[in-house]
A and B are shown apart, each in its own frame.
Chain A
Amino acid sequence: MKRIKISDIVFAVLIVIIGFIPLVTRSSYIFSLMFNTFLWALCGQAWNIIAGYTGQWSLGHALFFGLGAYGVVMAQYLLGLNPLVGLFLGMLICIPFVFIISGLSFRLGNIYFIMATLVFPLIVQILIGHYTYSKSEDIVIGGWQGFVVNRLPLTPLQFYYIMFLLVILSIILVKFLERSRQGYFMKATRDDERLALSLGINTNKIKTLAMFISAMLTSVAGSIYAIYTGYIAPTSVFDFSISMNIILGAIVGGLGTVYGPFFGALVVFPLFQLIQGWVGGKFIGLTYILSGFFLMSAYLIRLRFRAKSPLK
Chain B
Amino acid sequence: MLKIHKVVKRFGEFKALDNCSFELEKGEIVGLIGPNGAGKSTLINVITGFLECDSGEIFYKGKPIHKSDPNIISRMGLVRTHQIPRFFLFNTVLDCLIIAGLAAPNIEKSGVSGKVEKMLEMFKLEGIKNEITSNISVGQQKLLEFAMKMMLDPETLMLDEPYQGVHPSMIEISNQIILNLNKQFAKTVLVISHNFPVISSICSRVIVLNSGKIIATGTAEEVKNNKKVIETYLGGV
Interface residues of A (CB under 8 A from B): 181, 184-185, 187-188, 191-192, 194-203, 306, 310-312
Contacts and interface: CB of A to CB of B under 8 A. Distances in A.
A194 B92 contact: no
Nearest to A306: B90
Contact of A198 (B48, B88, B90, B104): B48
A196 B89 CA distance: 13
Given A195-B88, A306-B90, A312-B91, A188 B69 contact: no
B10 interface: no
Contact of A203 (B71, B90, B148): B71
A213 B74 CA distance: 27
Contact of B74 (A181, A184, A192, A198): A198
B74 A200 contact: yes
A237 to B, nearest CB: 37
B70 A198 contact: yes
Given A187-B99, A192-B87, A198-B48, 18 more contacts: A187-B88, A188-B99, A191-B89, A192-B86, A192-B88, A195-B82, A195-B88, A197-B69, A198-B70, A198-B74, A198-B80, A199-B99, A200-B74, A200-B104, A201-B71, A306-B90, A310-B91, A311-B90
Interface residues of B, number: 32
Contacts of B100: 199
Contacts of A194: 50, 82, 86
Nearest to B91: A310
A184 B112 CA distance: 13
Interface of B: 48, 50, 69-72, 74-75, 79-80, 82, 86-92, 95, 98-100, 102-105, 109, 132, 145, 148-149, 152
A172 to B, nearest CB: 20
Contacts of A197: 50, 69-71, 74
Contacts of B92: 310
Contacts of B99: 184-185, 187-188, 199
Contact of A199 (B89, B91, B95, B148): B148
Contacts of B95: 312
Contacts of B104: 200
A195 B74 contact: no
19 contacts: A185-B102, A187-B99, A188-B103, A194-B82, A194-B86, A195-B82, A195-B87, A195-B88, A195-B145, A196-B71, A197-B50, A198-B74, A198-B82, A199-B148, A200-B79, A202-B69, A202-B71, A310-B92, A312-B90
B91 A201 contact: no
Summarize A's interface: helix, strand, loop or mixed.
helix
Given A192-B86, A195-B88, A200-B74, A181 B102 contact: yes
A190 B71 CA distance: 16
B75 A200 contact: yes
Contacts of B71: 196-203
Contacts of A311: 90
Q: Name which of B71, B79, B98 has the most chain A CB atoms within 10 A of its CB.
A: B71
B61 to A, nearest CB: 16
Contact of B103 (A199, A306, A310, A312): A199
Q: Which 8 A-B pairs have the closest CB atoms?
A: A200-B74, A195-B86, A199-B103, A197-B70, A200-B75, A310-B90, A311-B90, A191-B88
Contacts of A201: 71, 103
Contacts of A310: 90-92, 132
A312 B89 CA distance: 10
Contacts of B75: 200
Given A184-B102, A194-B50, A199 B152 contact: yes
A188 B72 CA distance: 17
Given A185-B103, A310-B132, A312-B91, A198 B109 contact: no
Contacts of A187: 88, 99
A198 B102 contact: no
B146 to A, nearest CB: 12
Contacts of A200: 71-72, 74-75, 79, 103-105, 152
Contacts of A199: 71, 74, 99-100, 103, 148-149, 152
Contacts of A203: 71
Contacts of A202: 69, 71-72
Contacts of B69: 197, 202
A306 to B, nearest CB: 7
A234 to B, nearest CB: 38
A304 to B, nearest CB: 14
A200 B92 CA distance: 21
